[in-house]
């Protein structure tokens, strides 16, 4: 990479990583300068907080604990960039942190619109010291000229336009200062359009759009908010309908699980996003408004009535992930003709055969789905791998689905138990055909509930030493009724734990979906399987052993650092909100 390219990279890195104290007399003017057709708008609302978090011990200790980052700081690329930054700050007679703060003391805005169908990217930084910003830009220009001369390339050009002064560093990078703002753009005509809009006093700007004003006010009211964004989905659809329009023909599974969300995303005029971060609490939100004409009656079956929502997540010991979803599949089944195409609706008739085979000739809609509540939960949890006999080569966690049952249908739980036994019988028929070990049925009583379980019988013939033990020995299929809930689990140990967890009192939520994950438990699972994962990485990617170990350890450390995560989707009359929270885990 040439000196000019390094200089440009250095300047851009200042903008991207440059949160600082916001100036009282220099408010961010990005929205007032941006086109009303702006596709994507991103504003760093409290930049000082962001740089404080990135430079904190929490983040820095994590970065320096990651093998990939440890290797990166030793590369010539990193050393060259670091040396260039030291040279630049030395000539400016300041420190690197002080340079960042001075150049972006008033905030940072990124706006993307389309010029002649091409993305026009503009970065607007508000310096706390305009004179220092001009000095920095002049130094950048001098470095770029020296680099061009030394490498026999055309020198960058200085340009002036309606009070703005800038430099064309390459075909795709233009930098300049206008009204004490530092600008970076990928198209000269994009910056010219911005300046013309401001100089002509045009009211046709993003700040004057009603939806934008509403989102800006809502974002700024969010506690600990550091940055927020606004995407005009309708403008993206106009720009490229093929890329940004969701097709009408979707996979039936997508419609079944996410029908109302997909329809909202398909029609919503905009999307809003915010980022907040305080200490170890990191959160991001996405907001979508209800489609202009609202949801159809069939899609309203996906939305919980007021006062209802997903049940509280189950958290047995060793939980890696836990999901709770509100879905009234009975009502969705009733409107299937409105949701799915004719071909798929006809294929659903096969479910009646399935229901008859496993649930005693019951109709799938009125006999199976009608007996279920809207409570659906899924749990993934660690096993006691030391007690697995024989011990499988790859250690898998346990998986379980918990289904809510209606109180008035006592018989259906018995049908589910019989269906479980039928499933085991069919599995044994398949095992016999393929010469696999059969599943042996059994029962166990836990806290007054009887668990029906099965386990694979060990091979009668001893395998040669060193032969990998099949992953099937992670599995001990189990089923149990606990009050008005039915549990189907891949392992007996998880079924035991869920009997106790379901009986513990919980408070329901008002969200449609709640997913929780524990990065520490996931990291522990990765480390349990580290040897096999490294070997698999070496085979699939052709990496040497140290590189493969570095990739697996990096993944493990990232999972551990992200700590506890929680994702929710909440739906209401005005639209839906998705929120993702992390409680970061400090590196010890």
**Tokens at residue 287, please?**
């907001």
Determine the Cα angle at 570 with ends 568 and 572, to 5°.
175
pLDDT for residue 304 is more than 80:
yes
> What pLDDT score does 537 carry?
92
Hey, where are the domains in the chain?
3-208, 209-286, 287-457+470-583
Instruction: Determine the Cα–Cα distance for residues 267 and 283; give it in Å rounded to an integer.
Output: 26
In the structure, what pLDDT confidence band is assigned to residue 443 with cuts at 50, 70 and 90? very high
Instruction: Determine the Cα–Cα distance for residues 401 and 380; give it in Å rounded to an integer.
Output: 9
Determine the Cα angle at 515 with ends 512 and 518, to 5°.
165
In the structure, what pLDDT confidence band is assigned to residue 449 with cuts at 50, 70 and 90? very high
Instruction: Determine the Cα–Cα distance for residues 419 and 491; give it in Å rounded to an integer.
Output: 17
Judged by DSSP in three states, 237 sits in helix
Nearest to 502 by CA among 451, 457, 565: 451
Among the ranges given (103-117, 489-503, 534-548), the one the predictor scored with the smallest mean pLDDT:
103-117
**Tokens at residue 350, please?**
């096969």
For 565, other C-beta atoms within 10 Å of its C-beta total 19
> What pLDDT score does 159 carry?
85
Each residue of 531-585: pLDDT tens digit? 999 999 999 999 899 999 999 999 999 999 999 999 999 998 888 999 999 999 9
The per-residue pLDDT of the chain, averaged, comes to 85
**DSSP one-letter string for 20-71:** -PPPTTS---HHHHS-TT-SEEEEESSHHHHHHHHTSHHHHHHHHHSHHHHH
Instruction: Identify the helix (H) or strand (E) that includes residue 428.
Output: helix 410-433
> Do the bridges between strand 575-583 and strand 398-405 make them parallel or antiparallel, or are there none, so unpaired?
unpaired
Among the ranges given (135-139, 149-153, 427-431, 458-462), the one the predictor scored with the smallest mean pLDDT:
458-462
Which comes out higher in pLDDT, residue 459 or 146?
A: 146
> In the chain, what percentage of residues exceed pLDDT 90?
40
Nearest to 508 by CA among 584, 367, 404, 412: 404
> What pLDDT score does 355 carry?
65
Each residue of 335-384: pLDDT tens digit? 988 888 888 888 777 776 666 666 665 677 777 888 899 999 999 999 99
Among the ranges given (118-122, 315-319, 396-400, 493-497), the one the predictor scored with the smallest mean pLDDT:
118-122
**DSSP one-letter string for 95-164:** -HHHHHHHHTTT-EEEEEEEETTEEEEEEEE--S-HHHHHHHHHHHHHHHHHHHHHTT-PPPEEEEETTE
pLDDT for residue 5 is more than 60:
no
CA 286 to each of CA 42, 149, 228, 275, 578: distance values in angstroms, whole numbers, following the listed order: 13, 48, 10, 9, 5
What mean pLDDT do residues 314-340 have?
93
Among the ranges given (124-138, 196-210, 343-357), the one the predictor scored with the smallest mean pLDDT:
343-357
In the structure, what pLDDT confidence band is assigned to residue 314 with cuts at 50, 70 and 90? very high
Among the ranges given (358-362, 479-483, 510-514), the one the predictor scored with the smallest mean pLDDT:
358-362
Note the pTM of the prediction, 2 decimals: 0.88
Each residue of 408-431: pLDDT tens digit? 777 788 888 888 888 888 888 887
> What pLDDT score does 574 carry?
84
């Amino acid at each position: 990479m040439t000196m000019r390219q390094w200089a440009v990279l250095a300047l851009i890195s200042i903008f991207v990583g440059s949160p600082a104290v916001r100036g009282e007399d220099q408010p961010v003017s990005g929205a007032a300068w941006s086109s009303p057709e702006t596709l994507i708008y991103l504003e760093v609302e409290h930049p000082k907080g962001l740089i404080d978090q990135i430079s904190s011990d929490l983040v820095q200790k994590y970065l320096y604990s990651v093998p990939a980052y440890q290797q990166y700081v030793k590369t010539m690329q990193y050393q060259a960039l670091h040396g260039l930054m030291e040279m630049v700050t030395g000539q400016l007679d300041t420190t690197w942190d002080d340079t960042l703060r001075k150049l972006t003391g008033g905030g940072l805005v990124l706006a993307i619109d389309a010029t002649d169908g091409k993305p026009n990217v503009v970065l607007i930084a508000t310096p706390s010291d305009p004179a220092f910003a001009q000095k920095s830009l002049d130094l950048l220009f001098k470095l770029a000229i020296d680099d061009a001369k030394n490498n026999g390339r055309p020198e960058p050009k200085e340009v002036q336009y309606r009070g703005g002064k800038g430099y064309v560093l390459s075909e795709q990078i233009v930098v300049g200062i206008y009204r004490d703002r530092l600008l970076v753009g990928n198209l000269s005509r994009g910056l010219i359009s911005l300046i013309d809009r401001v100089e002509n006093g045009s009211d046709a700007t993003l700040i004057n759009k009603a939806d934008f004003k509403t989102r800006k006010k809502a974002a700024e009211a969010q506690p600990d908010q550091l940055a927020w964004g606004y995407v005009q989905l309708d403008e993206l659809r106009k720009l490229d309908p093929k890329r940004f329009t969701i097709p009408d023909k979707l996979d039936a599974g997508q419609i079944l699980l996410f029908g109302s969300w997909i329809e909202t995303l398909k029609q919503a005029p905009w999307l809003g996003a915010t980022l907040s971060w305080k200490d170890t609490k990191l959160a991001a939100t996405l907001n979508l408004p209800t489609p202009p004409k609202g949801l159809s009656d069939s899609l309203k079956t996906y939305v919980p009535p007021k006062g209802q929502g997903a049940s509280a997540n189950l958290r047995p010991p060793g939980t890696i992930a836990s999901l709770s979803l509100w879905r009234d599949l009975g009502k969705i089944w009733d409107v299937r003709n409105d949701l799915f195409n004719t071909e798929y609706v006809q294929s659903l008739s096969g479910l009646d055969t399935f229901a008859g085979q496993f649930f005693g000739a019951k109709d799938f809609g009125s006999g199976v789905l009608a007996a279920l509540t809207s409570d659906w939960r899924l749990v993934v949890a660690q096993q006691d791998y030391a007690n697995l006999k024989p011990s499988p080569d790859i250690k898998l966690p346990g998986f379980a689905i918990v289904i809510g049952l209606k109180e008035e249908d006592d018989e259906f739980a018995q049908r589910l138990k019989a269906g479980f036994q039928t499933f085991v019988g069919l599995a044994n028929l398949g095992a016999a055909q393929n010469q696999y070990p059969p599943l042996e049925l059994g029962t166990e009583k836990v806290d007054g509930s009887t668990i029906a379980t099965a386990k694979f019988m060990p091979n009668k013939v001893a395998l040669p030493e060193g032969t990998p033990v099949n992953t099937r020995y992670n599995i001990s299929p189990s089923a149990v009724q606990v009050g008005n809930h039915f549990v189907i689990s891949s392992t007996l140990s998880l079924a035991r734990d869920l009997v106790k967890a379901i009986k513990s009192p919980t408070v329901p939520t008002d969200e449609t979906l709640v997913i929780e994950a524990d990065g520490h438990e996931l990291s522990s699972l990765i480390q349990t399987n580290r040897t096999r994962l490294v070997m698999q990485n070496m085979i699939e990617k052709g990496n040497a052993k140290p590189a493969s170990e570095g990739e697996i350890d990096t993944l493990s450390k990232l999972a551990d650092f992200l700590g506890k995560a929680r994702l929710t989707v909440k739906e209401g009359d005005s639209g839906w909100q998705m929120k993702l929270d992390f409680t970061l885990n400090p590196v010890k």
